[in-house]
Amino acid sequence: CVSGRASWTSIGQRCEFSIELVPGTAPVSRRPYRMAPDELKELKLDKGFIRPSSSPWGCPTLFVEKKDQGGKRLCVDYRPLNAVTIKNKYPLPHIDILFDQLAGAKVFSKIDLKFGYYQIKI
């Protein structure tokens, strides 16, 4: 997705991701945090980050002030879900190994994933 050419939702519609849970896990649902009416409007309408759902799963959301740019960042409290998630076992490679693999390379790419966190449906 190149910023300005495609919306963040267009990527999420093509990519889906599932989370492996500990066997026998019952759905976890937490009551939403209280929000000011303007925050709720921004969350539902302006950003389009959420939609009505009948899922038995639910985690609360909140807005946090951005330090640099101003504005607000949407945060979801996934701690209850994280507690029942099977952890992946893919350690990150050591940075020196990565740099060795790049030695002699002449072409590099840079990818700007604006709203990258929101681009994969879970």
Question: Vertex 96, ends 92 and 102: CA angle to 5°?
Answer: 95
Which tens digit of pLDDT belongs to each residue from 31-85? Answer: 888 878 887 777 666 566 667 778 899 888 888 888 877 777 778 899 999 999 9
Locate the domains of the chain by residue range: 8-119
Q: Tell me the average pLDDT across 93-98.
A: 92
Which tens digit of pLDDT belongs to each residue from 49-62? Answer: 667 778 899 888 88
Q: What CATH class does 8-119 carry?
A: alpha beta
Q: What is the pTM of this model?
A: 0.58
Q: What is the mean pLDDT of the chain?
A: 78
Q: Tell me the average pLDDT across 88-112.
A: 88
Cβ atoms of 83 and 21 closer than 8 Å: no
